[in-house]
Every structure is written in structure tokens, then in C-alpha cells.
Amino acid sequence: MNNYPFNEFIYNRMSELNISRKDLVFRMEYINIQKGYTRVDDIISGNYPVGNEDRLAKALEVTRETLDNIIVEDKQYCLKLKQEEEKKKFKPFICAMMERRVPSPIFAGCMTDKLRYIWLDNDFMLLPEEEQMAFTQQWIVEHFEKNKGAITAFGKIMHYILRRDYDQKPEELQLFNTEGERIITPAAGLELTPGRPLGVTLKNGQRIF
């Protein structure tokens, strides 16, 4: 058992009702008993009962609203853990913002997305602002020339973003044109969200890894 809200809830309710894994299978009224054991095992291990929420709520003698709230809480907890882990691993970077937010074809974008990033080390963050800007301009120019102004599946490089910290909001990021010069007043509609490194943005805004 882990300490995730959904997992704890299942174990606690089974303990309160004094029911076993076998009891839960029969309470959920599975006709195919073997399939029932497989799905109950998934639920007990912390997987959500997609399509079987009403069955599970009835079996655990709770309302559907209670179950839904626990699932929402669990998702928020998982997201928090993921963000904390990403924050620990975060390194500042310069990211090329592309002509196409969604690469085409996507499988090629999965392989070339890494080419969008210029990784920065801790020494860079210790430099005075003026020196940081000078290096940023130099690296952007080199990156643009090396990639000939475009990246496979993403199209043309439109501009660049410098992200110094994991918690930075889009409006706090520093923008640069393809010659490494600061963009002080971004044009309306200019893409400001670099996304997570090594991911691909889908049409719904999600990143896949």
C-alpha cells in the first residue's frame, strides 16, 4: 500500500466494512469473476475504476460524489508530487519557440524536440545580468545558425525564451528574437509557453513524454 489518497481510501473503507478482496469482487457484481479479480486488484493497487465508479461506490457504501472527490484529491496529490520531482531536477534553459506548436509528424517531433533546448548550468546563473545576456545572445545565434533556422517536424524557429526558474510564470520569462536581442514588448499572440523539456504539445495543450 502507498500513501496516495485514493489508495488509502480503498484500504480504509475495506477495513471499516471488514471486507476482503473476494468480497469486493462480489459486491461489484462482476459476472466474469476472473476479470473481476483483475479489476479489483487494479483498484486496490491505486488505479482508478474508470467506467466502474458507480459499482465501486456502491460496493464501498459511499456516494458517487465522495468517490469522485477522492479521485480528484488523488490526482491533485499526484500532480504535486510530479511537480516537486520536476522542480528538483530543473535546470535553466533557453528554448526555441517554433512555427508549429504541434509537430508534424508527431513521432518525428518526439525525436527532435530535444533540439529546441540550450541547457544552462549553475555557473551561468551566478553571472551578472549583463554577462548572462551576452552569453544568451551568443548561444541563440549559434543555435539558430546550427539548425539553419528550423527544426524537423516543428518548422521555423520564431523566437527564443529564457527560463531561469521552475516556478517562473509565462509573463516573467525573457524573450529574444532569432538574433538574440531582447523582445521587451511581445506582440499579441506570441507563444510564451515553452512546455516541459523533451515533450510534445498536443492540440489540447497536454505534453506527452
- Give the whole-angstrom CA distance, residue 136 versus residue 182: 10
Q: Cβ contacts of residue 53 below 8 Å, gap of 6+?
A: 64, 67, 68, 71
Q: Cβ contacts of residue 86 below 8 Å, gap of 6+?
A: 166, 196
The residue segments making up the domain with residue 182 are 90-208
135 and 47 both lie in a single domain? no
Q: Cβ contacts of residue 36 below 8 Å, gap of 6+?
A: 25, 26, 28, 30
153 and 50 both lie in a single domain? no
155 and 199 both lie in a single domain? yes
Cell numbers given for 12: 480504509
72 and 143 both lie in a single domain? no
Of 206 and 154, the structure prediction assigns the larger pLDDT to 154
80 and 95 both lie in a single domain? no
From 87, 116, 145, give the residue that closes a domain: 87
pTM of the model: 0.67
64 and 10 both lie in a single domain? yes
User: Is the omega angle on the peptide bond into residue 105 within 30 degrees of 0, that is, cis?
Assistant: yes
14 and 50 both lie in a single domain? yes
Cell numbers given for 123: 555557473
Q: Write the pLDDT tens digit of every residue in 65-94.
A: 999 999 999 999 998 998 898 888 888 999
| Mean predicted confidence (pLDDT) in 105-109 | 87
From 49, 66, 87, give the residue that closes a domain: 87
pLDDT at residue 127, as a whole number: 93
pLDDT at residue 195, as a whole number: 58
Give the count of domains, the chain: 2
